[in-house]
A and B are shown apart, each in its own frame.
Chain A
Amino acid sequence: MNVATILQFAKKNWKEILIVICLLLVIGKMRYDYNQLESAYVTTQESLQNQIAGLQEIHKKELAKREQALREYEQQLNDIEERYEMNQEELAILKAKKKKKYVKKFSEEPEMIVTEIEALFGFEYVE
């Protein structure tokens, strides 16, 4: 098989060869376009996957922060409750002391009731 034979063959069957070449070109072009479309699809898919992963991470961080805020809130509420109870206890002690003082004062100095009631309530004393 030499060059002359090949040329002879090509000359004889040039139409078929041309058709095959055209077909190969069309197929090549189709493959190229398909690859381009696939590349665009992969790009979009990667972008969406990155977005999903990022959003999940952000959501996780948000939940952790909310948990932390809730824990701090509960701690503060406990502190407030404790302080409130302590104040109530102190007030109860103060009340008991005051009452004891009043009772003692009224027993030892009955005339003090008059002065105290007048001072506290502004009532008029009638003998």
Chain B
Amino acid sequence: MLSRVLALLLFSSTALADDGKFAVLEEAQPAPFDGVLFNKSAVADIMTEKATWQSQCDIEVEYQLDVAGTEFELERKNFNIRYDALDEEYKLIVEQKDVEIVKLQETIKKQSPPNKWWWFGVGGASGAIVTVIIAKQLTK
């Protein structure tokens, strides 16, 4: 890294030592046509830019694609995490509801269906006894 920076500084200083210059040539000045005159450094700059724009573009494209891909990956992971959490929540609630249903069914079973004949018998017998007692009282 340090060597790169040093190399960059070295090359930059060499390049900066000879800055690009240009001039606009007009009619009557010694030139075959009106135009713009660049010195060698300026021409070298333009040519260098032209020769390296593809690499610059590739670097930018790679960077933007990497960033977009990473953001997409994060979004995908977050969706997956949310999905897993919702799935777990769903399973938990269903499981708890199943347990609750089983327990409530046990409570209900204790309450009526298994004992219904017993209640019927007790009710019938009580009714009969009360009827007999009332009848005896009335006949006295």
Which residues of A are interface residues toward B (Cβ below 8 A)?
18, 33, 36, 39-40, 43-44, 47-48, 50-51, 54-55, 58-59, 61-62, 65-66, 69-70, 72-73, 76-77, 80, 83-84, 86-100, 102-103, 106-107, 113, 116-117, 120-121, 126-127
- Inter-subunit contact A62/B97 (CB<8 Å): no
- Inter-subunit contact B45/A99 (CB<8 Å): yes
- Inter-subunit contact B81/A50 (CB<8 Å): no
- Inter-subunit contact A117/B107 (CB<8 Å): no
- Inter-subunit contact A61/B85 (CB<8 Å): yes
Q: How many A-B residue pairs have CB under 8 A?
A: 142
Which residues of B are interface residues toward A (Cβ below 8 A)?
1, 4-5, 7-8, 10-12, 14-15, 18, 32-33, 40-41, 43-45, 47-52, 55-56, 59, 62-63, 66-67, 70-71, 73-74, 77-78, 81-82, 84-85, 88-89, 92-93, 96-97, 99-100, 103-104, 107, 110-111, 133
A-B contact pairs, 5 of them (CB 8 A): A39-B107, A80-B66, A89-B4, A96-B12, A121-B50
- Could you say which of B44, B50, B67, B88 contacts A106, with CB atoms under 8 Å apart? B44
Which residues of chain B have C-beta atoms less than 8 A from A94's C-beta? Answer: 52, 55
- Inter-subunit contact B45/A96 (CB<8 Å): no
- Inter-subunit contact B92/A93 (CB<8 Å): no
- Inter-subunit contact B92/A51 (CB<8 Å): yes
- Could you say which of A18, A43, A66, A86 contacts B103, with CB atoms under 8 Å apart? A43
- Could you say which of A59, A88, A97, A121 contacts B85, with CB atoms under 8 Å apart? A59
Complex: how many Å from CA A99 to CA B50? Answer: 11
- Inter-subunit contact B51/A36 (CB<8 Å): no
- Inter-subunit contact A84/B59 (CB<8 Å): yes
A43-B107, A69-B77, A116-B47 known; A126 and B32 CB under 8 Å?
A: yes
